[in-house]
Amino acid sequence: MSSRLIVGMTGTTGGIFGVRLLEALHGSDFETHLVMSKWAVRTLMHETEYSVDDVQRLATCTYRADDQGAAISSGSFVTNGMVVCPCSVRTLAAIAQGNGDHLIHRAADVILKERRKLVLVVREAPLNDIHLENMLKLSRMGVVILPPVPAFYNHPKSVDDIVNHIVMRILDQFDIHLDLMNRWDGVLKSGN
Ligand SMILES: Cc1cc2nc3c(=O)[nH]c(=O)nc-3n(C[C@H](O)[C@H](O)[C@H](O)COP(=O)(O)O)c2cc1C
């Protein structure tokens, strides 16, 4: 069986992170199973030139957010895990409480009950106590909280470089090691 990754995209600024992740896996051995929330679609249209069709074409399978009967709604559909990229604080809260209302929430709940890998690319700033408590609760259950925070040690030249670096670090979590951007090699530019 080929490897499968569930990709949820929710309504935060930075939908490009999810798009780039799908682009990175497009044509690889990894199947991507994509769900976009209503607000993911809205923010994507606002921030990028990508249409929903463009994004869906990058995935192996796509599901409607209101289709709770989709394959990824059941633990018997075996996957290597799930990433919510980007992840809104609303979806973070729904996952932390186990009472969400769309397929991304249900699929994440299934991942948790099956003890599979869940990575949440939570995008909000600043953070209130509710956000922090939800993140801590899930982290203690083994969920990886991976906010899309840029690094500068690799001298990004563009926003694209920053996006690629963050996507590379997300994929590292699933043991998918693509060199989308320079990695830290321990050598300071000064030569020290
Ligand atoms: C342009 C735009 C940008 C937004 N950015 C964020 C954000 O960065 N983080 C966040 O948690 N919510 C953000 N929101 C609000 C969410 O879209 C909203 O809470 C929504 O209900 C999330 O639902 P979902 O998790 O099902 O996608 C944004 C909304 C819009 C319209």
Residue 187: the pLDDT is 86
Q: What is the mean pLDDT of each run of 10 residues along the chain (192 residues)?
A: 91 98 96 98 97 98 97 97 98 96 97 98 98 98 98 95 98 96 86 52
Instruction: Report the separation in Å between the CA atom of 50 and the middle of ligand 1, taken as the mean of its atom positions.
Output: 18
Q: Is the CB of 148 under 6 A from ligand 1?
A: no
Residue 189: the pLDDT is 78
Instruction: Report the separation in Å between the CA atom of 42 and the middle of ligand 1, taken as the mean of its atom positions.
Output: 9
Run of H or E residues at 52 = helix 52-58
Calpha distance 117→66 (Å, rounded) = 23
Q: Is the CB of 66 under 6 A from ligand 1?
A: no
pLDDT tens-digit profile of 15-69? Answer: 999 999 999 999 999 999 999 999 999 999 999 999 999 999 999 999 999 999 9
- Facing residues of 82 across strands? 6, 118
Asked whether the beta carbons of 145 and 117 are under 8 A apart, the reply is no
